Amino acid sequence: MAESIPFTDLGLLAREVWPEIRQPFLQALLSGCYVGGDAVTDFETAWAAYCGVSHAVGVGNGTDAIELTLEAIGVGAGDEVVVPANTFVATAEAVVRAGAVPRFADVDDATLLLTAETLEPAITPRTAAVIVVHLYGQMPDMDALDRVVRRAGVPLVEDAAQAHGATWNGRRAGSFGVAGCFSFYPGKNLGAFGDAGAVVTRDAVLAERVRTLANHGRVGGSAHYEHALVGTNSRLDALQAIVLSAKLAHNERWTEARIALADEYAQRLAGSPVRLVVRNPAARNVYHLLVARTADRDRVRARLAGQGIDTGVHYPTPCHLQPAFARFAAEPLPVAERAAGEVLSLPLFPHMTDEHVMRVCDVLDAVTGEDRDELVDA
Ligand SMILES: *Cc1c(COP(=O)(O)O)cnc(C)c1O
């Protein structure tokens, strides 16, 4: 059988950066400074600059980044926060953890993202914030969303966990809302060697408030025993910050490799019944995931698996139909519900080759070709 194709290969990324991090790793270990410190501050400075904002606060993970942001802007009990139904469950989870109620909005059929049209009906007098998710690596029409939230008079928070380096009209993810929330979970485009996250913002007061909440309510960031707020423990480790700083220096090259592979897929699959999620020309899609849609998803997926090709489904159940969140579901959301049965994430990672793409597409052609033959036979 031909060589198998993994869904992603994080080991190859680690192999590339290891020579650059082994020395700083050893220094950090010997220094005894493992949580916070210069390595964290250096990464925060670099990450804020990359996102085109003035402040970044390293936190424990992306879910905390969202929850802490909501708390810091005063969202809590009695409030509703609009979230798209098609997202990783953490977006809605953070809303509930912050004490508020998620209000699910449907998504656009072409991009599977929130749009002004799908957002508007989800806004109510209780709406206290809107979370836009740049799902799969693509930002939605931020100008149109901005008009809706301005009219509603509520803050926009960006869940940019899948959108490191994505742009809308040249402006980076994380720089549009009151804050941008990032995850550096290992599998994200910029991933640590464990859990990590960050909140980015132009607002110095908001940044300081997130930092305080993330560090047991301590004002000023150090390890003293004066606690002004009831916070939590969600801080970035020095070792993770070292990995992230090293990987950040490679991130544009890795992102361009993802985009080139996605272009290759798009050309190869033009006219195929396996349709890729539509790319908006005003957006720089950083292709955290390359998502296709096909009516016969489970069979196509099984056939790829039979050829040693690993795929994913993001996500098989929309948030509002998850057992944990069904009590917040107000009405059916037909686009998200239909997409959940059709989406199929194809292998895509920076070290993948064009030959890999061709093999995946050859198998897709063979499976969908059989469909056509069956129709002719019938
Ligand atoms: C990964 C992810 C999160 C959560 O990030 P963690 O670091 O895993 O907590 C939130 N939202 C989206 C869209 C994600 O993909």
Q: What is the DSSP string of 135-203?
A: GGG----HHHHHHHHHHHT--EEEE-TT-TT-EETTEETTSSSSEEEEE--TTSSS--SS--EEEEES-
Two tokens at 126?
């209780």
Q: Write the DSSP symbol of residue 128.
A: E
Q: Which atom of ligand 1 is nearest to the CA of 183?
A: 7
What is the pairing mode between strands 171-172 and 127-133?
unpaired
Q: Write the DSSP symbol of residue 322.
A: S
Using a cut of 0.95, tell me whether the model's pTM lies above it: yes
Q: Give the confidence band of 372 by pLDDT, cuts at 50, 70, 90.
A: low
Distance of alpha carbon 79 from alpha carbon 66, whole angstroms: 15
62 in contact with ligand 1, CB cutoff 6 A = yes
- What are residue 104's DSSP bridge partners? 83
183 in contact with ligand 1, CB cutoff 6 A = yes
CA of 95 to the centre of ligand 1 (A): 13
Two tokens at 306?
């039979």
Q: Give the confidence band of 150 by pLDDT, cuts at 50, 70, 90.
A: very high
In tens, the pLDDT along 243-270 reads 999 999 999 999 999 999 999 999 999 9
pLDDT on residue 373: 60
Q: Give the confidence band of 378 by pLDDT, cuts at 50, 70, 90.
A: very low
Share of the chain above pLDDT 70, in %: 97
Distance of alpha carbon 252 from alpha carbon 134, whole angstroms: 18
Instruction: Kindly report the protein residue whose alpha carbon is nearest to atom 6 of ligand 1.
Output: 62
Query: Phi and psi dihedrals of 350, rounded to 5?
Result: -55, -30
pLDDT on residue 330: 85
CA of 63 to the centre of ligand 1 (A): 6
192 in contact with ligand 1, CB cutoff 6 A = no
61 in contact with ligand 1, CB cutoff 6 A = yes
136 in contact with ligand 1, CB cutoff 6 A = no
In tens, the pLDDT along 108-142 reads 999 999 999 999 999 999 999 999 999 999 999 99
> At residue 376, does pLDDT exceed 60?
no
Q: Among the residues of the chain, which ranges form H helices?
A: 10-31, 38-51, 62-72, 90-97, 116-119, 142-152, 204-214, 238-268, 297-306, 334-340, 354-377
CA of 273 to the centre of ligand 1 (A): 30
Amino acid in position 68: L
Distance of alpha carbon 161 from alpha carbon 93, whole angstroms: 14
Instruction: Kindly report the protein residue whose alpha carbon is nearest to atom 14 of ligand 1.
Output: 161
Please compute the mean of the pLDDT values over residues 308-318 and round it to a whole number.
98
- Choose which residue among 91, 97, 313 to substitute to test ligand 1 binding: the one with the highest number of ligand atoms within 8 A of its C-beta: 91
Two tokens at 361?
């597409």
In tens, the pLDDT along 169-227 reads 999 999 999 999 999 999 999 999 999 999 999 999 999 999 999 999 999 867 788 99
- Choose which residue among 68, 83, 114, 159 to substitute to test ligand 1 binding: the one with the highest number of ligand atoms within 8 A of its C-beta: 159
Please compute the mean of the pLDDT values over residues 331-340 and round it to a whole number.
97
